[in-house]
Chain A
C-alpha cells in the first residue's frame, strides 16, 4: 500500500474530523485492537485533535501532533503504523514468518502460507484461530520486533490445511514510504 508514496503528490489534504467522527474512530480502534482505554489515552489523549490526512486511493492516515498513528484503507480495519506497533506490540495478533521470507517481505511481497507454516514461522494455536481479513503484526524468526503489518487473506486454520498461495497481504513494512514518513 505504501510501496510508492510521496507526501507532496499523494496527500490530498489534512483536516480535523468532527468530534462525533473522532468518537466513532476511537470506539472502532478500541474494538479492533487489543488495547485498553487508558493505553489509548496515552497514545491519543482526548484533548489532542486527530488530523485526518487524506491520501490517494482512499487511504486515510490519522495523525496526532503531526505524528502518523494509524491508517485505514477505504473503510477497512484500522492499522497502527509500524512505529506505534513497536511501542505497543500487543495491540495486534501475531503471526511469524521464517528467515527466508524476511528479504521478500522487506521488498513488499505478500506472505505465502509455507513461510508461516514452516519450522521458523508462527501461527496462533487452533483455539485462537484468526478469521480471514484480520489485521496482523508480522514478526520474523529470531527477531524481537515486527517487520510488517498485514491482513490475512485466509483463516489461520485454512493456512495450515491448504499450505499454498498468499496468506497475508502486507500493508506496510519496514523501510517502505510510510516508514520513512516520521512526521506529516
Chain B
C-alpha cells in the first residue's frame, strides 16, 4: 500500500465535521440527497454562513461551470423527482405505521396458568429485546423474544399480565414509548383441547 510512512511527533487532531441534521450528509452534498428543501431550511436556520456559501448565486453559478445547461437542468429535475419520491415513501411508511396494530394475547397454558404474547411492537421502532427485559423486570417474571408460528418476532411474558402491559403501553413507560393506545388490542386465546 502506501510506501511513505510518516511519523508525526504529535497526534493530529480530528477535523470537526458538520453533518446535516436532516440527511446526515455533509451539507455540501445535501443537493444530492432526497430532502434538499428541508436541508436548505435547516442550514439556513442553524448555520446561515454556510448556507450563503453553498447556495448563494455565485456558488450556484460556479457549480454550473463545467456542466452544460442541459445536463444541469436534467440534474435539477432528477433532484426534484427524487425528493418527491422520498416524501411519498415517508408518507406511506408513516401511514403503515399508524395502521399497524399491537396485539396483546393471553394464551392459556393449562387451566389456571397463562402466558402473554405481545405482537407487533417492532412496527413502532421498539427494540424487542430491551422491551422484553424491561417487562421481565417489571413483573418479576420471565419474558423473552420468540418467533411465533408465522415466523414473526413477539415478546412472550409468563403469567397473565395483559392488563398491566396495556397500562404500561398507554403510559409509554421505558422502552415502550411511542405506541398510540388506540392501536393496542387485547385478545384471549383458549387452549384447544387436544384429543377430543
Contacts and interface: CB of A to CB of B under 8 A. Distances in A.
A143 B53 CA distance: 12
Given A31-B5, A103-B75, A145-B17, A120 B11 contact: no
Contacts of B10: 38
A143 B29 contact: yes
Nearest to A38: B11
B32 A102 contact: yes
A77 B63 CA distance: 34
A107 B142 CA distance: 46
A26 interface: no
Given A93-B2, A99-B66, A87 B15 contact: yes
Given A106-B32, A175-B33, A38 B8 contact: yes
A92 to B, nearest CB: 8
Interface in A88-104: 88-90, 93, 98-100, 102-103
Contact of A39 (B12, B15, B17, B33): B12
Contacts of A179: 24
A90 B29 CA distance: 20
Contacts of B32: 102-103, 106, 174
B134 interface: no
B28 A144 contact: yes
B99 interface: no
Contacts of A88: 12, 14-15
B45 interface: no
A39 B25 contact: no
B151 interface: no
Interface in B172-190: none
Contact of A36 (B11, B24, B33, B62): B11
B9 interface: yes
A10 interface: no
Contact of A174 (B4, B11, B14, B25): B25
B67 A86 contact: no
Contacts of B5: 30-31, 34
Contact of A134 (B1, B4, B12): B1
Nearest to A179: B24
Interface of A: 30-34, 36-39, 41-43, 77, 83, 86-90, 93, 98-100, 102-103, 106, 119-120, 134-135, 141-145, 147, 174-175, 179-180
Interface of B: 1-2, 4-15, 17, 23-26, 28-29, 32-33, 62-63, 66-67, 71, 75, 78
23 contacts: A30-B5, A32-B1, A32-B2, A36-B6, A36-B12, A38-B9, A38-B12, A39-B12, A42-B11, A88-B12, A88-B14, A90-B12, A99-B67, A100-B66, A103-B78, A106-B29, A141-B66, A142-B63, A143-B29, A144-B28, A145-B29, A175-B23, A175-B24
